[in-house]
């Protein structure tokens, strides 16, 4: 899935960003290929917030995707600790627990021999995992790195609904108009598999901390 919301696209991968600086609430719905039966559609809900005088943060993500007769449900809960060296320098570390369930949603078009993959989906066995992340912010720059689904990586399970991956990002914080506005160039890298590298590049401009 594509998470393009500015306040959420890093937190979904890096638990160290839970409650970093400030929190956010995001809900997104997407439907592909209008009027096509069984076309992919998904719901995404995310929230994170600081507490303990911004020294700690917590949050969660819930994602559900329906593709034809298959439904995938993913949820994670994250906690982070934020070490403030001064007003502008913050080191954050975080960990998240993850839940994933892939199962049948409706009936398939299999009418002959039993399909072992469909039988596995019908049983609906969930998979659990966890991730670890680090983030560092200065006055004009911040960057983070996360290693995701560590149990999958370490245990090397033959049958799992989750795939281990890692991700990283870097973002500038450039004051404009005497500090009234903020320009934020952004780049992210995600390694989802041995053959899948994903890059995101963005540019955000905030006017007077309002728009």
Could you read off the pLDDT of 53-75 as tens digits, one per residue? Answer: 999 999 999 999 998 888 899 99
Q: What angle do CA 55, 56, 60 make, to 5 degrees?
A: 155
Residue 106, CA distances (Å) to 15, 30, 67, 127 in order: 34, 20, 11, 21
pLDDT band per the 50, 70, 90 thresholds, residue 124: low
- The winner for highest mean pLDDT among 5-14, 71-80, 156-165 is 71-80
Look at 48 and 159; give whichever has higher pLDDT.
48
End-to-end, the C-alpha distance of the chain in Å comes to 26
Q: pLDDT for 73-111, tens place per residue?
A: 999 999 999 999 998 899 999 999 999 888 887 665 555
Residues 73, 111 contacting (CB under 8 angstroms): no
């Amino acid at each position: 899935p594509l998470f393009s919301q500015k306040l959420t696209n890093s937190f979904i991968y890096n638990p160290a960003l839970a409650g970093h600086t400030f929190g956010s609430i995001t809900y997104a719905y997407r439907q592909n290929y209008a009027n096509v039966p069984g076309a992919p559609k998904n719901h995404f809900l995310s929230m994170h917030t600081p507490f303990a005088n911004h020294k700690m943060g917590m949050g969660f993500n819930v994602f559900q995707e329906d593709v034809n007769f298959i439904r995938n449900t993913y949820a994670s809960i994250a906690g982070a600790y934020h070490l403030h060296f001064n007003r502008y320098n913050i080191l954050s570390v975080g960990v998240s627990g993850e839940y994933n369930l892939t199962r049948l949603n409706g009936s398939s078009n299999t009418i002959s021999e039993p399909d072992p993959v469909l039988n596995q989906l019908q049983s609906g066995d969930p998979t659990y995992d966890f991730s670890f992340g680090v983030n560092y912010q200065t006055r004009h720059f911040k960057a983070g790195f996360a290693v995701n689904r560590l149990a999958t990586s370490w245990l090397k399970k033959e049958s799992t609904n989750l795939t281990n991956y890692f991700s990283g990002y870097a973002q500038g914080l450039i004051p404009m108009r005497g500090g009234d506005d903020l320009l934020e160039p952004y780049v992210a890298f995600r390694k989802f598999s041995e053959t899948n590298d994903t890059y995101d590049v963005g540019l955000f401009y905030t006017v007077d901390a309002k728009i």
